[in-house]
Structure 1
Amino acid sequence: MASSTFPLVFIVRRQDPKHLVPSKPTPHELKQLSDIDDQEGLRFQVPGIMFYKNNPSMEGKDPASVISEALAKALVFYYPFAGRLVEGPNRKLSVDCTAEGVLFIEADANVELDRLGDTVGPGCPYLNELLYDVPGSDGILGCPLLLIQVTRFSCGGFTFAIRLNHTMSDSSGFIQFLNTIAEFAQQPQTKITPSVPPIWQRHLLSARQPPSITCPHYEYGQALAGAATTTATANGTTTIDRSFFFGPKEIRAIRNHLPHHHYSTTATTFELLTACIWQCRTRALCLAPDETVRLSFTVNGRGNKHGLNLPPGYYGNVFTYPAVMAKAGLLSMLPLGYALELVKKAKAQVSEEYFRSVADLMVIQGRPSHTLEANKDYIISDNTRAGFDKLDFGWGKPVYGGIARAISLISFYVPFRDIRGGEDGIVLPICLPESVMDRFEQELKKMTQEPVEHPPNHKPISMHQKCSQSIS
């Protein structure tokens, strides 16, 4: 997409938000979430956005009307989304299926979609206009579980932006619901039921009786030990968002930083990229060498790999966050293979028993949050296979579809096509203090270029020297 040489005056005119309810009567009942859903660490809102170009074959059709009608039909089958969360004993969450509806906003932008240029994607600077935060709607209890805004552009393109209460679904479960909306949108006259019937059955991932914590769960541990302050950041520092693209060239360059025995083994792109990002982020933070840093990342429990045996159509959360810890000095100074082995080891520990142990821990320990300490903790979630980039309401696949931005200490891998080179790859939005972001970008550039061959007696520069040089 071409960017204008003039500053973009971007104005969105929104209609009043409305509550969109199921198109037919639905059961009024109380449905408990699972103990994998019901974690303090999932009690937040996740924003997503899809950008669609004009499609001449859809001439005369209004995307807001098409989608709202399809959404009302989909809510007949996914009626818990039209309810509200309530809290019971031991902070247990349930959905009160009241059919109060989801929030829906219809809007119009004053420009053509192409005018957004390369800002189309995660971290779009116009997100607050394209997904309006309706006052009082962003709570967890007693609030709408979905907020949707469809914004039409003057060219006939549009955006579909959505905010989800994460306790309800993970990316795989949520895309199942969105695909049902898409089916009704594409076949408004003939589609009667979803191709994949939704399955609730959240008891399948609830705690055992009696509950028992059988695995180590460092992601729910205490605050990390180490020096009281860091050289890079301080409380109250303003953070910025930036996104980084990894295509085949970048992935190949990162892999070339590994010893030959690592290069020729089966380290996945996820493992490789996660190790690289964690190492570069730690270097950029300039922490004291003895401080402990922690990385958590999502492991999907769907399919047969982990033995959970969930039925097709289950749309709850089916992932866990194994954690790995290291001293900042070691992680920063040692080669990439060190970080990679830590990531692979943490990933390999996840099993059916690990999931059961997490569910039991929630009940025994009162649903603790993931322990997150600014700078020292970091979470990466893999959304590359979720399918947001394939969601088709009749206008074709989106130019971009996925998570809208990084959320504090959480980053997301999202599939992305680089419009400049036409390459398919992965984009990572990340949130860091500005000075740290600049160092992170420099560290990442080193990793995405061919490695420099050092003589055997080469001694790497210390992190304190590195940080003082970058600041001076």
Structure 2
Amino acid sequence: MEKAGLAEFNVEIVESCLVPPCLPSPRGTLYLSNLDNQPAMRMAFNTLLVYEACEHVLPDPAKTIREALSKVLVYYYPLAGRLRKKEDGKLQVECTGEGVLFVETMVDKNLSILGDLEQLKPSFKQLLFRFPSNTSIENVHPMVLQVNHFTCGGFVVAVSFHHSVFDGRGVGQFLKGLGEMARGHVKSSIEPIWDRELLKPRNILVHDLESIEKKIDSTSHSETAPIYKESIQMSLALDFETIKYVKDGIMSECLGICTTFEIFAALVWRARIKALEFPHTQCVSIYFAVDVRRSFNPPLPNGYYGNGIVAACAQAIVHDIINQPLSYLVNIIKKTKMSLTNKYLRSIIDTEQFPLNVYSNKANTILSDWRWLGFNEVDFGSGTPVNIYPMHWNENGFNLSNVFLFLHSSKRIDFGFNVITWMPPQEFNLFEIEIEAITNKYAMNG
């Protein structure tokens, strides 16, 4: 791992400014739903979008994106405001029109210095503006963009978004709209819809507490996730052939249709639990983000960019996770997804029965599928990104030690998809061995 202070490249800030909407925008305070106010959403997520130099390269990416930003904020004006905490502790958005923080930088190296981002290095943190960890919520911006120019003509757009304002799909929608504006469109092809009141709690609480309580993790509910300084961000590539062998094998075991996510969520769950050697009698949980926009009755409208995700929770005994066929875990995950009915969703919104901090319990495995959020479709005029990568390194270390993200592989490789995780190296090595053992079994039978 790179030594502190030993940078592989240097980043010089050219300009830092607030970009407001180019037209007057509404003022006032906007409601955030209980899904927006889930404890797990009270954090910023950071992502790098990598663009190579090409024959259609933008002469000035920062200028193009900055001008497009001022236009798209006319429609996404809440992002130009600020978060505010109410007396009851819940968050809302004050539409101030101040603007989105925009940073432009110059990097003294070619884009090749990043490789395929298979390992995140501390020097990469220069590519993203981050507020100090002790910054009050009132001073945190819902969105920050940093455009980094490299000497080869390529550039990296670093996006930091506060999860309480929108989820990954909402950010993907915003970024695609930003790209459309950069390419000369008059407005976004998808009309953004804020209407968080669609998810307001009902006046008369009607809920199925028994089904809810079974889903709530009864372990630590601390507000701050633990820091694992020894962890590093790692990437595990799954090629198309391996994916096919595993899917074919599981489909024959399940005698039904299973999604790629369900199958590989089960595979990751088993490999991690086996690698970490939990007691065989222990009950452990897997949490995975599910987009429930279409699960409501009526469904949330197309263009809704608030949080429309719920952390589904499946549980099993360690002995069964290790010894039952992998299809057993796939079916548990599938049934858990099917349980997220309109009745259940409305009940957890009414009662605010959300898991408070699933990150703090090492026995929890947490997954999120980023492949369909739309980040890989963001085109500012020179094509779509060759790579998308989360970035969660901070000055204290990693605080997502039990999280796994599924992402498209780099365009340079076209290798299936990547599993991104944060682990101490010795744990990751054991996890990788288990993944290989499971996939090899299906490849041999394929």
Q: What is the TM-score normalised by the length of structure 1?
A: 0.83
2-structure distance, mates of 1:212, 1:445 = 47
The letter of the residue matching 2:116 is D
The letter of the residue matching 1:331 is I
Check whether the contact 2:116–2:410 (CA below 8 A) recurs between aligned residues. Answer: no
1:201-212 correspondence to structure 2 within 5 Å:
201-212=195-206
Secondary structure of 1:94's counterpart equals strand
1:227-266 correspondence to structure 2 within 5 Å:
238-255=230-247, 258=250, 260-262=252-254, 264-266=255-257
When residues 73 and 416 of structure 1 are mapped into structure 2, their CA distance, relative to the original with a 3 A threshold, is same
1:368-387 correspondence to structure 2 within 5 Å:
369-387=356-374
Secondary structure of 1:48's counterpart equals strand
The letter of the residue matching 1:116 is L
Max Rg structure: 1
* Match of residue 469 from structure 1: none
* Match of residue 327 from structure 1: 317
1:283 paired with 2:283, answer no
Deviations 1:354-384 (A, max 9, x none): 221221121xx6x762444432012111121
Deviations 1:288-331 (A, max 9, x none): 1122211011111234x553422222111111111011122321
When residues 144 and 112 of structure 1 are mapped into structure 2, their CA distance, relative to the original with a 3 A threshold, is same
1:268 paired with 2:259, answer yes
1:312-461 correspondence to structure 2 within 5 Å:
312-362=302-352, 369-404=356-391, 407-417=400-410, 419-420=412-413, 422-423=414-415, 425-451=416-442
Say how many residue pairs are matched. Answer: 427
When residues 338 and 404 of structure 1 are mapped into structure 2, their CA distance, relative to the original with a 3 A threshold, is same
Q: Give the fraction of aligned pairs with identical amino acids, expressed as a percent.
A: 30
Check whether the contact 1:26–1:99 (CA below 8 A) recurs between aligned residues. Answer: yes
The letter of the residue matching 1:220 is I
* Match of residue 130 from structure 2: 133
Q: CA deviation at 1:91?
A: 2.3
Check whether the contact 1:307–1:351 (CA below 8 A) recurs between aligned residues. Answer: no
The letter of the residue matching 2:124 is L
1-structure distance, mates of 2:238, 2:410 = 10
2-structure distance, mates of 1:160, 1:378 = 30
Structure 1 segments unaligned to the other structure (5+ residues): 1-6, 225-233, 455-472
Match among 82, 89, 92 for residue 91 of structure 1: 89
Q: CA deviation at 1:446?
A: 0.8
When residues 201 and 132 of structure 1 are mapped into structure 2, their CA distance, relative to the original with a 3 A threshold, is closer
Q: CA deviation at 1:348?
A: 1.4
Check whether the contact 1:253–1:450 (CA below 8 A) recurs between aligned residues. Answer: no
When residues 218 and 370 of structure 1 are mapped into structure 2, their CA distance, relative to the original with a 3 A threshold, is farther
Check whether the contact 2:145–2:159 (CA below 8 A) recurs between aligned residues. Answer: yes
When residues 377 and 139 of structure 1 are mapped into structure 2, their CA distance, relative to the original with a 3 A threshold, is farther
Q: CA deviation at 1:436?
A: 1.3
Check whether the contact 2:250–2:263 (CA below 8 A) recurs between aligned residues. Answer: no
Q: CA deviation at 1:89?
A: 4.0
The letter of the residue matching 2:17 is K
* CA RMSD of superposed structures (Å): 2.7
When residues 50 and 452 of structure 1 are mapped into structure 2, their CA distance, relative to the original with a 3 A threshold, is closer
When residues 122 and 50 of structure 1 are mapped into structure 2, their CA distance, relative to the original with a 3 A threshold, is farther
1:222 paired with 2:218, answer yes
1:185 paired with 2:175, answer no
The letter of the residue matching 1:337 is S
Match among 158, 164, 167 for residue 164 of structure 2: 167
Check whether the contact 1:220–1:371 (CA below 8 A) recurs between aligned residues. Answer: no
Secondary structure of 1:442's counterpart equals helix
Q: CA deviation at 1:390?
A: 1.2
* Match of residue 464 from structure 1: none
Q: CA deviation at 1:408?
A: 3.6
Deviations 1:318-354 (A, max 9, x none): 1111101112232123321222121112111111122
Secondary structure of 1:450's counterpart equals helix
Deviations 1:157-187 (A, max 9, x none): 1000101000111122111211221111110
The letter of the residue matching 1:261 is E
Q: CA deviation at 1:419?
A: 3.3
